[in-house]
Amino acid sequence: MTTNARVSLGVDAYRQVFHASPDYISISRLSDGTYLDVNPGYERFTGYTRDEVIGKTSTALGIWPDVPVRDEFVAALHQSGELHGFPTRLRTKAGEVRQVEVSATIALIDGEQALVAIVRDVTERRRIDDELTQYRAHLEEMVEQRTTELKHMAQHDVLTGLPNRALLNDRIGQAIYHAQRNAGGLALMVIDLDRFKPVNDSLGHHVGDELLKMAAQRMQDLVRKTDTVARIGGDEFVVILIDVHLHDVVAVVAQKILNALGRVFVIEGHSVEIGGSIGIALYPGDGVNAHALLTCADAAMYQAKRAGRGNYCFFETMA
């Protein structure tokens, strides 16, 4: 095969690719940007016919809606001689702006420099990518929200919303750490509702549940935001008071809780009367960890019950 034949075959192959390509291909003078040739893909994408654009520029036709981006594209092409997948937007004859990726090179055609551009329409791909990104973000948000909910459920009593035993142990640890750093004290109360079981048995679990929620709220209303009220099971609660240094201050809070629990609860037309018994342990005198403080407060609570219910008892007074 002669050299001329090989060249002829190359030109024929080029023209087949040029006309058959689904992508937009254009050839324009590098010197002034006027179109020398465009393929059918260009016509389909832009809506312009070949005859409408030959001898004109993309700028004159308004194909580049973002002129600064076009200038950036041309400058980058002059610097490197070729570009691959340059992301931008192009406008069609109908005024629709589409997302595209442009690959371009500078070639010598008929003795003059020309810009050969291949444009791929990625509008649909970008739309799908955006939808996937939004879906992924939404899914991550849902997972994070559900994780937060599950964590809350694992650490809180379902009925009252108060911290449960698992979170209580953590709160006691935090309170002890706070007391150590600030050379302070803390009080831990174990509170058992008196006469709760007869109410629950006679009026039903739904009344019993409402009673527990109302009792929990009354206790919360009597302590500071920095203190903790927890439910550790059945009709038993724990209160942590931080930054308390005086025995009398703790006693005042305990009596307020007993007074609140002793007031009548009105539930579904029923006047319900209960009460409470409170055992109190003090840090660091009665214990230096959660287990020790809970054990001492629990023992003091049973001592309060034995004393006639409706009472509070400090563990330190039991010896």
CATH number of the domain encompassing residue 16: 3.30.450.20
Amino acid at 249: V
Could you tell me if 264 and 273 are in contact, meaning their C-beta atoms sit under 8 angstroms apart?
A: yes
What is the average pLDDT value for the chain, to the nearest integer? 91
103 has which bridge partners?
Answer: 118
Query: Does one domain contain both 116 and 180?
Result: no
Which residues have CB under 8 Å from 86's CB, separation 6+?
73, 76, 101, 102, 103, 104
Question: pLDDT (tens digit, 9 = 90+) per residue, 280-311?
Answer: 999 999 999 999 999 999 999 999 999 888 99
Q: How far apart are CA 33 and CA 36, in angstroms?
A: 9
Query: End of a domain among 106, 121, 136?
Result: 121
Give the separation between CA 151 and CA 147, rounded to whole angstroms.
6
| 235 classed as catalytic | yes
The pLDDT tens digits of the residues spanning 181-198 come to: 988 899 999 999 999 999
Q: How many domains does the chain have?
A: 3
Same domain, 210 and 112: no
Q: Does residue 202 have a pLDDT over 70?
A: yes
Q: To the nearest whole percent, how much of the chain has pLDDT over 70?
A: 95
Q: Which of 155, 175, 202 is the last residue of a domain?
A: 155
Domain end, chosen from 121, 145, 169, is at 121
Instruction: Identify the active-site residue in 194, 235, 286, 298.
Output: 235
CA distance 296 to 298: 5
For residues 27 and 138, membership in a common domain is answered with: no
Q: Are residues 187 and 149 in the same domain?
A: no
- How much of the chain, in percent, has pLDDT values that exceed 90? 77
Q: What pLDDT was estimated at residue 276?
A: 96
Q: Are 33 and 109 members of one domain?
A: yes
In terms of domains, do 244 and 280 share one? yes
- In CATH, what number is assigned to the domain containing residue 297? 3.30.70.270
- Each residue of 216-247: pLDDT tens digit? 999 999 999 999 999 999 999 999 999 998 89
- Domain co-membership, 205 together with 280: yes
User: What digits encode the pLDDT tens for the residues 3-53?
Assistant: 333 334 456 666 777 887 888 999 999 989 999 999 999 999 999 999 999
Question: 18 lies in which domain range?
Answer: 3-121
> Are 174 and 234 within one domain?
yes
pTM of the model: 0.64
How far lies 143's CA from each of 94, 153, 154, 161, 305, in Å? 43, 15, 16, 22, 47
**In this structure, are 187 and 235 located in the same domain?**
yes
Residues 195 and 306 in one domain: yes
Do 245 and 147 lie in a common domain?
no
Per-residue model confidence (pLDDT) at position 22:
86
For residues 191 and 308, membership in a common domain is answered with yes
